[in-house]
Amino acid sequence: MAPTPRPASVRFASKVDRTGPTSLVRGAPGPCHQWTGARNAKGYGTFWNSRTVKAHRFAYEQANGSIPDGLDVDHICRNRACVNPAHLRAITHRENILASANHVARRAAVTACPAGHTYDDANTYVAPNGTRKCRACKTASQRAARAAARDQQRAPVIPLRSPRPTPERTAA
Ligand SMILES: [Zn+2]
Ligand SMILES: [Zn+2]
């Protein structure tokens, strides 16, 4: 008797960790369902179902039926390895690109450093990791460091104290 192949849904469920990290993104409630199977180079889970399919697309179709033509399945939680249907939505490719750009745009919309100095051309430099840095804050911290170094030099030399007597160890 030939062994009954396990249904795809059962194989799929065996590769999902439902106790994933809780998403902090609004609109993606509860924990991510982390795909523990294979992933592609971009970090999306992959699943064999007669052919290789993306795990999150499979999860979406299990929950909602087939993906309408021409739509992308987007991760609301921005976690590409997540297959929680509540974190997935079918959107147009254009909307998908905008959603990603939005993430970048939100950061660009920040126009002042945490201390409130404006990120304008004169006051902004770009750190090696690509983030914007505030010159006013850098200058202030360099000034503080120099002042601290000066104070250090001016401080009287404190004679080394004689080493603290070590308590004698009594043999047990
Ligand atoms: Zn998620
Ligand atoms: Zn600043």
Is the pLDDT score of 34 beyond 60?
A: yes
Do 18 and 96 belong to one domain?
yes
- pLDDT category of residue 45 using cuts at 50, 70 and 90: very high
Residue 25, domain member (yes or no): yes
Q: Are 43 and 80 in contact (CB under 8 A)?
A: yes
Query: Picking from 16-25, 143-152, 158-167, which range would have the lowest pLDDT averaged per residue?
Result: 158-167
| 114 and 149, same domain (yes or no) | yes
Query: What distance in angstroms lies between residue 93's CA and the mean position of ligand 2's atoms?
Result: 38
Whether 35 maps to a domain, the answer reads yes
41 C-alpha to ligand 1 centroid (Å) = 19
Helices (H), 40-166: 55-64, 93-108, 135-154
Q: How many Å apart are CA 62 and CA 107, to the nearest integer?
A: 35
Confidence of residue 23 (pLDDT cuts 50, 70, 90): confident
116 has which bridge partners?
none
Q: What average pLDDT score do residues 46-64 get?
A: 96
Q: How far is the CA of 142 from the centre of ligand 2 (A)?
A: 13
Measured in Å, residue 50 CA sits from the centre of ligand 1 at: 25
pLDDT at 160: 66
Q: Per-residue confidence at 164, pLDDT binned at 50, 70, 90?
A: low
Taking only Cα atoms into account, the Rg of the chain, rounded to an integer number of angstroms, comes to: 28
Using DSSP, how many helices (H) and how many strands (E) does the chain show? 4, 8
Q: How far is the centre of ligand 1, averaged over its atoms, from the C-alpha of 81 (Å)?
A: 8
Cα distance between residue 131 and residue 79, in whole Å: 22
Kindly state whether residue 163 falls inside one of the protein's structural domains: no
The candidate with the shortest Cα–Cα distance to 88, out of 55, 60, 46, 68, is 60
Q: Which of 68-77, 89-98, 143-152, 155-164 has the lowest mean pLDDT?
A: 155-164
Compute the distance between CA of residue 11 and CA of residue 57 in angstroms, rounded to an integer.
15
Ligand nearest to the CA of 23: 1
Q: Residue 130 phi/psi, 5° resolution? A: 95, -5
141 CA → ligand 2 middle, Å: 10
- φ and ψ of 90, to 5 deg: -90, 120
Q: Tell how far the Cα of 153 is from the centroid of ligand 2, in angstroms.
A: 28
Q: Are residues 146 and 116 in the same domain?
A: yes
Give the closest ligand to the alpha carbon of residue 82. Answer: 1
Closest-approaching ligand to the CA atom of 34: 1
pLDDT for 99: 78
Domain hosting 142: range is 109-154
Nearest alpha carbon to residue 19 among 7, 3, 9, 34: 34
Q: Are residues 49 and 118 in the same domain?
A: no
Is the domain of 80 the same as that of 114? no
Give yes or no for residue 1 having a pLDDT over 70. Answer: no
Number of structural domains (the chain) is 2
- Per-chain mean pLDDT for the chain: 86
Q: Point out the ligand nearest to the CA of residue 113.
A: 2
CATH at residue 95: 3.90.75
Q: Is the pLDDT of residue 33 over 90?
A: yes
What does the pLDDT read at residue 61? 96
- Do 75 and 97 fall within a single domain? yes
Tell me how far the alpha carbon of residue 7 lies from the centroid of ligand 1, in angstroms.
Answer: 24
Residue 171 counted as domain residue: no
pLDDT > 90? residue 72? yes
